[in-house]
Structure 1
């Protein structure tokens, strides 16, 4: 799994971008966030995720929040 922090998030549209710890930013859609209920992310929030390549570029899947230690 890759790791990074949420770069920005649009609650109204349900998508945003994750700044990877190494590499280019990755698109994320609310449907790819693990969990139930209303799925949102907060800028600066640490996450781990899988990356898939699409015709529009890299996309995050199986996005999981990282609990603070």
Structure 2
């Protein structure tokens, strides 16, 4: 049975691609997953069967062998450090809210800074299991 790694998979679209041992892309529809409750992450090891589909090789009976460890989870800040970050972010959001109540968006530089901070904090909280 061939094996490979998930190149990418989008559960919303219902498909993704596997890179087999020889480096070729193999189409992976959601229906090919043996365990439909598992959503494979990029880099997960998989075993599968291959058939020739209309547009090239297609995976069947995909079994997820092991997920790649989450880099985000391994490098996220400690909870004690996140407390200070979240409290500072709350203050910045409160200031922005005060301006919005007066019908004024923050200046462009402040908006960019606030948006990048929101993304960074969101990335620290968003950990795939």
- TM-score normalised by L of structure 2: 0.48
Q: Which whole-Å deviations, capped at 9, do the CAs of 1:20-50 have from their partners, x for residues lacking one? A: 11141100011110024x3421100000000
More helix by share: 2
Aligned Cα RMSD in Å? Answer: 1.6
Q: Which is bigger in relative contact order (C-alpha 8 A, separation at least 6)?
A: 1
Following superposition, which runs of at least 4 residues in structure 1 exceed 4 angstroms of deviation?
none
Give the structure with the larger strand fraction: 1
Are 1:46 and 2:45 matched, yes or no? Answer: yes
Please say if residues 44 and 66 of structure 2, whose CA atoms lie closer than 8 Å, have aligned partners that are also in contact: no
Would you say how many aligned residue pairs link Structure 1 and Structure 2? Answer: 67
* Alignment gaps of 5+ in structure 1: none
